[in-house]
Amino acid sequence: MIPSGRFMGSGRKQTYMNCPGRIPILCLLALLCAVAAGGCLSGERAGGEDTAPVRVEIEKGDIGPFYETAAAMDDRVVFTFVPTGANVSAYLVTYEVKREGSTVAAADGKYYDGVSASHPIVIAVGRSPGEVVSIAISIKTPDGEVVYESASSVG
């Protein structure tokens, strides 16, 4: 009869170190636990509020006298066009804003006075969560010289 907890003929108690087949299994189990814990601790959360930045796709544009930002919330999108210079100027703005391909706001040569870095051109429209909102814009001086053109979308 073989005593419990002993190998045949060895006279030593069975330990994990004496069982080389168990070490890779334990290492694999530890690795799986580490990966699972890393997934649980990441910044991404299912449901709840989305805190990740929204990706804005710029289809065409120029980094000249203006730069563009977009803030997308569940209920609205705010496009902001900020002049890069220190001057306060007037501009004529033509734009078309589409939500899921349908025009929801447009202007042709709308006059904006007192535009500066602290008072940029702001265009805001409502939206439902997840809707794609796009804008095509042309900004001109009062003399008609185009200083900025862009097409972008937020989804």
Q: Mean pLDDT in runs of 10 for the chain (155 residues)? A: 49 54 62 60 48 50 76 93 92 96 96 95 93 96 94 91
**Per-residue pLDDT, 136:** 97
Do 96 and 106 form a contact (C-beta atoms < 8 A)?
yes
Which of 96, 98, 94 lies closest to 106 in space, CA to CA?
96
So what CATH class is 56-154?
A: mainly beta
**Per-residue pLDDT, 86:** 87
Compute the distance between CA of residue 24 and CA of residue 120 in angstroms, rounded to an integer: 62
Compute the distance between CA of residue 93 and CA of residue 108 in angstroms, rounded to an integer: 7
In the structure encoding, which two tokens stand for residue 61, read together? 């544009």
**Per-residue pLDDT, 121:** 97
**Per-residue pLDDT, 27:** 60
Rounded to two decimals, the pTM is 0.60
**Per-residue pLDDT, 46:** 46
CA distances from 80 to 15, 50, 121, 125 (A): 68, 21, 6, 12
